[in-house]
Amino acid sequence: MTKTITLAQGNGGAENAELISNIFYKHFKNETLAKSEDAAIIEGGRLAFTTDSFTVSPIFFDGGDIGKLSICGTCNDLAMMGAKPAYMTCAVIVEEGFSVADLETIVLSMKKELEINGAQIVCGDTKVVPRGSVDKIFINTTGIGIVQKEGISSNCVSEADVIIVSDQIGRHGATIFAAREGMRFSSALQSDCASLWPLVEKLLDEGIAITAMRDATRGGVAAVLNEWAKQSNVCIEVNDESLPVSDEVRGICEILGFEAYTLANEGTFILAVKSEDAQRTIDILHRFEEARHAAIIAQVTHQYDGRVVLLNGWGSKRFMDLPTGELLPRIC
């Protein structure tokens, strides 16, 4: 552990995992927290409970804004546990001098996503701080969801499962980076920020045998798969050529030396489903615009338990490790 906090410790990679384990898990340790799920399952499995804070920069970006992100992020965490979003809190820290018109635009974005999820804000808090104390606006949202299917857990992935990604990866991280650097494209690159409950609800209604789900936010696909491999003590073997990556994201990665599977997503999720339900899952997801590039990306084995292996078209393999270093801070 470093003696002072670094930006790398907030990026969803190895440093972030170390910070959480050595400081927060160490002192807050309990059975529910130890499961390391997107949301805590409480009240005998009836409710899912989660919280998240949003500090994205810039606060307006192609495909969304900090308001849309704050509702999508928290509702998606509930959806990943098979829970229908129901009740939310909203705490806003806003800087003196912030535009009232921009604040209303952000709130209207939140309202739209609440309607998509069928959720409502039931309490909140607002703080105004002196100019320079925060970067424009920070938002915290907490959510409670009603569990529709029990037993979904990243601790239960097995060789009976295949791994599916719901859409092209890395678009949110690439969009935020491009916006910060003033990069302009003639393409339609934009964040994948979206509410995932409608997709999950349809999968549940169709009786898909879902083992685990996780939205691939900070640290991207690499972070999710490494967490699952360790939690379930399995090896996840990823087919590099099956990872859906847009030309725009691929281009940014080639220019800057990034890997698309480490870039953040805000409307793309990973599923572990029973192999017999894999194709039906893909068919259902393809009905949604937000999942038109859904694909099977990996198999579960016991070749290297606790590790993720990346296989390429030439037959070689290498480990897909947790991202390290200061990749893209403040992407959510």
Neighbours of 14 (CB within 10 A): 18
Pairing of strands 308-311, 235-239: parallel
Q: 3-state DSSP: the chain helix, strand, coil percent, rounded to 5?
A: 35, 25, 40
Listed by start position, the domains of the chain span 31-147, 161-319
* 9/19 Cα distance (integer angstroms): 7
Residue 207 is encoded by which pair of tokens? Answer: 């009786």
What average pLDDT score do residues 59-77 get? 97
What is the reported pLDDT for 188? 83
What average pLDDT score do residues 274-289 get? 98
What is the reported pLDDT for 325? 75
Contact 78, 60 (CB under 8 A): no
What is the reported pLDDT for 121? 98
What average pLDDT score do residues 267-282 get? 98
Predicted confidence (pLDDT) at residue 214 exceeds the cutoff of 90? yes
Using one digit for the tens of pLDDT, what is the confidence trace for 218-266? 999 999 999 999 999 999 999 999 999 999 999 999 988 889 999 999 9
Neighbours of 277 (CB within 10 A): 21
Same fold, 31-147 and 161-319: no
Mean pLDDT for the chain overall: 95
Closest CA relative to residue 218, chosen from 77, 60, 82:
77
Pairing of strands 137-147, 47-54: antiparallel
What is the reported pLDDT for 157? 98
Residues 6+ apart with CB under 8 A from 148: 82, 83, 84, 201, 204
Res. 186 pLDDT band, cuts 50 70 90 = low
What average pLDDT score do residues 89-96 get? 98
What is the reported pLDDT for 238? 98
Which CATH number does 161-319 carry? 3.90.650.10
Predicted confidence (pLDDT) at residue 184 exceeds the cutoff of 80? no
What is the reported pLDDT for 257? 86
What is the reported pLDDT for 289? 96
pTM score: 0.95
Integer-rounded Cα radius of gyration of the chain? 19
What is the reported pLDDT for 10? 83
Q: Residue for token digits 């009976």? A: 160
Predicted confidence (pLDDT) at residue 66 exceeds the cutoff of 70? yes
Assigned superfamily of 31-147: PurM-like, N-terminal domain (3.30.1330.10)
* 254/265 Cα distance (integer angstroms): 18
What average pLDDT score do residues 44-62 get? 97
What is the reported pLDDT for 152? 97
Closest CA relative to residue 154, chosen from 75, 203, 219, 214:
214
Predicted confidence (pLDDT) at residue 185 exceeds the cutoff of 80? no
Residues 6+ apart with CB under 8 A from 255: none
Q: Which of 20-24, 139-143, 323-327 has the highest mean pLDDT?
A: 139-143
Residues 6+ apart with CB under 8 A from 269: 76, 80, 165, 166, 196, 213, 214, 215, 216
Peptide bond into 130 cis (omega under 30): no
